[in-house]
Amino acid sequence: MTPEVPKNHPRYESLVTREKIIEGMHQKIVAEAGLIAHGRGEAFDYILGENTPDFALKQEKLAVITLLKAEEPVISINGNVAVLCPNEIVELSRILEAPLEINLFYRRLEREEAIKNLLEKAGAQNIYGVDQSKQETIPEISHQRRIVDSRGIARSDCVFVPLEDGDRTMALRKLGKDVVTVDLNPLSRTSLTATVSITNNVSRAVKEMVSFAKDYKNMNSLALEDEKKRFDNKALLQEALKFMSSRLEELASDRKLFEV
């Protein structure tokens, strides 16, 4: 059992999320290293102000358009993502017509089953990555994540991989695939090498992407192409870093902040 977080706590949301991750680890959904990754993310979210800035909304729009324009988009799921936003990721998969594939850095049958159950509870129907007869390997990747589903990541032209590791992002890019990611660290190798990087908390980003996907889904292909031209991934990533550094500068000059 995890302790109750008092509702009036100034950082209630963040503490509840932390408990979800810990609970997910006890249920064998989240890997131990997933806790450490979450901590890295939290540190960057503090700098963002635990809110979605404007540049991130633009990154999310570009991400949704890229996924909608793909021939065979797929959404790669790990333990942290499954625990943090199961309902939203299932809804996004449905709207984008992009299947969900469980693909773990720390691969264990028990963990795959637990994630599958969680996603099914959230309404997912056809989950890839768990049927041994459909496995294929990507030789460019050296660890267990090289095993992918022949119906999913193996043949996909555009993979959405929230909270991904840098090596794998680079391997997927080398294979000619587009990679869309969510990563609070704008300097991670994943953020720097993905086709589209979203510098935001995955819990907020996926919810916002659902809403953009509903809007863009009804746009025709030409209008969508025009809309895409409004955004530039590298420029937005630069904006993310500038936003973080100017926010730190502002806070550092705010005397009141230090008078608590």
Nearest to 237 by CA among 56, 66, 57: 56
Looking only at residues 18 through 37 of this chain, which bind ligand ATP when binding is defined by CB under 6 A?
37
Beta strands in the chain (DSSP E): 73-77, 100-102, 135-137, 147-149, 158-160, 178-182, 196-198
CB of 221 to ligand ATP, least distance (A): 30
Contact yes or no for 36/185 (Cβ under 8 A): no
Helix (H, G, I), strand (E, B) or coil at 141: coil
Looking only at residues 147 through 166 of this chain, which bind Mg ion when binding is defined by CB under 5 A?
165-166
Contact yes or no for 101/148 (Cβ under 8 A): yes
Contact yes or no for 96/213 (Cβ under 8 A): yes
DSSP β-bridge partners for residue 128: 101
CB of 175 to ligand ATP, least distance (A): 17
CB of 164 to Mg ion, least distance (A): 8
Contacts of 215 (CB under 8 A, 6+ apart): none
Q: Is 183 in the site for Mg ion (CB under 5 A)?
A: no
Q: How many residues bind Mg ion (CB under 5 A)?
A: 2
Provide the token pair at 125. 């129907």
Q: How many residues bind ligand ATP (CB under 6 A)?
A: 18
Of 93, 188, 195, 197, the residue at the interface with ligand ATP (CB under 6 A) is: 188
CB of 37 to ligand ATP, least distance (A): 4
Looking only at residues 165 through 184 of this chain, which bind ligand ATP when binding is defined by CB under 6 A?
165-166, 182-184
Provide the token pair at 55. 């540049």
Of 18, 28, 40, 247, the residue at the interface with ligand ATP (CB under 6 A) is: 40
Per partner kind, with CB cut-offs from 5 to 8 A, the member of ligand ATP, Mg ion, none near residue 103 is none
Residues forming the site for ligand ATP (CB under 6 A): 37-38, 40-41, 44, 84, 163, 165-166, 182-185, 188-190, 201-202
Residues forming the site for Mg ion (CB under 5 A): 165-166
